[in-house]
């Protein structure tokens, strides 16, 4: 009996010492493997690639959560184009805020031949998702300039914060619009949840839109979240809010901004 106990203790010790790779860690850990800080690196590429351009063309998609095959097909489809400057993912790369969801989606999106940025979605805030998003992609509010257009990308997932966090963050918006003001003459706002949708803090929806319409050369706003295509001047003042479809519906939007106007198209794959 003593010999058997000694054998079992030795076996368990070996499994503990050498069997770590067999352990599946908690799905909400924040142990990140692979590339991090993606948005900052890609924003630098976007600004460099678009410097001096008077016409830019970019794609908007979103809600790739759980639709991995379709997202891979999107990457393959858009990579056949040669006219895209960058891609904006409108948020919800994850469904449950699980670490591996972020990493799987990141690895798929890294197959894009164009630089891309990812906006935080309401599902991306679940569990430890916000911490994972911050490590993998970056800050939840960010801005960049492409050609002569300032892109203001925002966390608008107010319902996930129970009003304990400034969502949307008006201080950030003010600072983003003031920063490098002499380098841009047009503005686009991008977010996951648009105003007048339940998950937006609609107590301040009109205030938010006032910031939008007072931005230099406002063009339009983009959003995701609703899982279907939308195009509406929701405040009836001519400023359009365009919503991208979820990836399972196999479509994305392409916008072109030139010196005279902007155009958009829906692309199916």
In contact, 208 and 168? CB cutoff 8 Å: yes
Question: How high is the mean pLDDT in each 10-residue block of the chain (269 residues)?
Answer: 46 44 65 96 98 98 98 98 98 97 98 98 97 98 98 97 90 98 98 97 97 98 98 98 98 98 98
pLDDT of residue 12: 44
pLDDT of residue 20: 46
Residue 184, C-beta contacts closer than 8 angstroms, at least 6 positions apart: 145, 148, 149, 150, 216, 217
Tokens 């690196």 identify what position?
Answer: 41
User: Model-level pTM?
Assistant: 0.90
- Distance, CA of 232 to CA of 194 (rounded, Å): 11
Domains, the chain, in order of start with CATH, read 26-268 (3.60.21.10)
pLDDT of residue 4: 47
Nearest to 45 by CA among 92, 90, 80, 84: 84
Task: Tokens for 228, please give them.
Answer: 């279907």
Nearest to 79 by CA among 113, 43, 42, 116: 113
Residue-wise over 137-158: b if at least 16 C-beta within 10 A, else e? bbebbbbbbbbbbbbbbbbbbb
Task: Tokens for 254, please give them.
Answer: 């392409």
pLDDT of residue 25: 57
pLDDT of residue 15: 41
């Amino acid at each position: 009996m003593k010999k058997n106990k000694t054998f079992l203790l030795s076996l368990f010790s070996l499994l503990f010492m050498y069997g770590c790779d067999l352990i599946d860690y908690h799905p909400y850990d924040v142990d990140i493997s692979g590339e991090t800080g993606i948005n900052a690196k890609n924003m630098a590429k976007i600004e460099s690639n678009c410097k001096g351009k008077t016409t830019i063309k970019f794609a908007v998609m979103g809600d790739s959560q759980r639709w991995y095959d379709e997202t891979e097909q999107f990457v393959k489809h858009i990579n056949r184009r040669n006219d895209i400057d960058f891609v904006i993912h409108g948020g919800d790369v994850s469904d449950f805020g699980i670490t591996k969801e972020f990493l799987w989606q990141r690895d798929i999106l890294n197959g894009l031949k164009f630089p891309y940025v990812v906006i935080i979605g309401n599902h991306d805030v679940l569990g430890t998702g916000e911490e994972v998003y911050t490590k993998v992609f970056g800050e939840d509010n960010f801005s960049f300039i492409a050609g002569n257009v300032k892109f203001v990308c925002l966390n608008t997932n107010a319902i996930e914060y129970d009003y304990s966090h400034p969502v949307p963050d008006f201080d950030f918006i003010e600072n983003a619009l003031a920063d490098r003001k002499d380098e841009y003459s047009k503005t686009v706002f991008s977010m996951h949840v648009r105003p007048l949708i339940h998950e937006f803090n609609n107590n301040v929806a009109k205030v938010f839109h006032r910031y939008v319409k007072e931005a230099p050369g406002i063009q339009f706003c983009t959003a995701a979240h609703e899982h279907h295509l939308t195009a509406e001047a929701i405040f009836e003042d001519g400023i359009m809010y365009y919503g991208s479809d979820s990836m399972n519906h196999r479509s994305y939007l392409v916008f072109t901004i030139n010196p005279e106007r902007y155009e958009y198209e829906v692309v199916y794959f």
